[in-house]
């Protein structure tokens, strides 16, 4: 009797575990950048640059780093704003970086 009950309970638990959706948060890769400035994407200057690059952010307002270069050596040798930005799938020649949050190294 108990062996049948344990088989049924185990089967139910396995079925529930398999049916439970799991979500793994996907975050874009980030990188440390040295940017000359960080401004909102809603500014007219950034809007013009984004338009020339063919990037449409819609109504999303995010911090955009201007004139950015990757920081490869640890230390605070950045002459501008040290930031952590989303690594773009396409490189824009250091012109901009998306979603830049100022950090302290």
Is 52 among the domain residues?
Answer: yes
The answer to whether residue 101 scores a pLDDT higher than 60 is: yes
Give the Å distances, CA to CA, from 6 to 12, 17, 19, 35, 48: 10, 16, 20, 62, 66
What is the pTM for the complete model shown? 0.64
Is 41 among the domain residues?
Answer: yes
40: containing domain = 30-102
pLDDT attached to residue 9: 47
Q: What is the pLDDT of residues 42-98, one digit of tens each?
A: 898 888 888 888 888 888 889 999 888 888 776 667 888 888 988 666 667 778 888
User: Domain tally for the chain?
Assistant: 1
Backbone Cα Rg of the chain:
23
Is 7 among the domain residues?
Answer: no
Is 53 among the domain residues?
Answer: yes
Instruction: Give the three-state DSSP class for 86.
Output: strand
């Amino acid at each position: 009797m108990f062996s049948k009950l344990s088989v049924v309970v185990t089967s139910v638990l396995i079925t529930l575990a398999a049916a439970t959706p799991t979500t793994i948060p996907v975050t874009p890769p980030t990188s440390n950048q040295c940017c000359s400035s960080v401004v909102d994407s809603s500014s007219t200057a950034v809007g013009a640059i984004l338009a020339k690059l063919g990037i449409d952010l819609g109504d999303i307002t995010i911090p955009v780093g201007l004139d950015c270069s990757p920081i490869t050596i640890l230390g605070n040798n950045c002459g501008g704003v040290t930031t952590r930005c989303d690594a773009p799938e396409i490189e824009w020649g250091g012109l901009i970086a998306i979603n830049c949050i100022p950090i302290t190294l």
